[in-house]
Amino acid sequence: MIGSFLNVIIYRLPQISEIQYRLICANYIETFFKHKKIKGSLNQKRKLRKIKTHLGVPYNGDAFSLSTPKSHCPNCLRTLSWTENIPIFSFLILKGRCKTCKNPIGKTYPLVEFISAAGALYISTRLYLPATENLDIHLLMKTASLCTFFWMCIALLIIDIRTQTLPDLLTLSLMWLGIVVSLTSTTGLALESAILGAIFGYSSLWLIYQTYKFFTNKEGMGYGDFKLTAAICTWIGVESLAILLLIASLTGALFGGFLLITGKLKRDDAMPFGPFLILSSFILIHTSPSI
Ligand SMILES: [Zn+2]
């Protein structure tokens, strides 16, 4: 069920951000031209509101949020019944197609649901089962927080691959959550290490970005990557920052090289860095003796 909710976040959050961004631009244009006393430009504002967003949602003033409209087929727009909304099983029963229009359902949906369940099962059996047969509140909290970290990272990973953005709502809340978790010493990471992790996680990538931009006049990363690194470091600690960046850039370079050789990526194409940071953080948390 959490995987199902992650799917909603993965598909809607970037669209919501884009609509909000367009509205800000439209208002800015309106104020700008009002100031310049050019009336015809108000059409410009209407146009900006009407055009389909980059991710395909037409914005016509209707509410669009994580909860509205209800889950529907993106092709025939029919609202789904509860039997079509059961995680993984509905996809298998419907054989991956919409009941009415037979439009194929994206394979990411069942994949995210499966990974969320499998990851949570792995974390809880590894952490909880070997340690105790009785209810251990501390271990339960630790399991729950590591699962939450895992789930939020999966959403960020897929969003970054699909849209090459990392929404603030996810990266920043992951960072605050990491600090709160270390404050209550749930995972065993010291508060000082988490806070320094956020500071140095952000600033180290910012420094690399500025240096790269100064010498090449190109932007090598986005600000979302800085925030994601800060967020991850509140969970793995400042001590693991260097190794996090090392693993992420090595795997990123290897994968990028592979895509270049196979012709799936062109030389000047951008490749998201977030997924490599996330995979690298999974490796570090998995091998960390303190967590
Ligand atoms: Zn349909």
pLDDT along the chain (291 residues), means of 10: 94 89 85 68 61 60 77 87 90 92 92 96 83 79 94 97 94 97 91 97 95 87 94 96 96 94 85 96 87 65
One-letter identity of residue 236: I
Q: Return the structure tokens found at 54.
A: 């980059």
Residue 16 and residue 66: Cα distance in Å, rounded?
8
Measured in angstroms, how far is the CA atom of residue 72 from the centroid of ligand 1? 8
Residue with the two structure tokens 């995979």? 279
Helix (H, G, I), strand (E, B) or coil at 196: helix
The pLDDT value recorded for residue 43 is 63
Measured in angstroms, how far is the CA atom of residue 35 from the centroid of ligand 1? 47
The pLDDT value recorded for residue 85 is 87
> CA of 82: how far to CAs of 7, 66, 74, 102, 114, in Å?
16, 17, 17, 18, 19
**Whether 228 contacts 276, CB under 8 Å:** no
Measured in angstroms, how far is the CA atom of residue 132 from the centroid of ligand 1? 48
Measured in angstroms, how far is the CA atom of residue 106 from the centroid of ligand 1? 12
Residue 223 and residue 281: Cα distance in Å, rounded?
18
> CA of 147: how far to CAs of 141, 151, 220, 262, 289, in Å?
10, 6, 31, 35, 18
Residue 191 and residue 65: Cα distance in Å, rounded?
35
The pLDDT value recorded for residue 37 is 62
Residue 22 and residue 143: Cα distance in Å, rounded?
40
Listed by start position, the domains of the chain span 2-108, 145-287
Helix segments in the chain, DSSP class H: 2-36, 42-50, 89-93, 108-127, 137-163, 168-183, 191-216, 223-236, 241-261, 274-287
Measured in angstroms, how far is the CA atom of residue 16 from the centroid of ligand 1? 22
One-letter identity of residue 122: Y
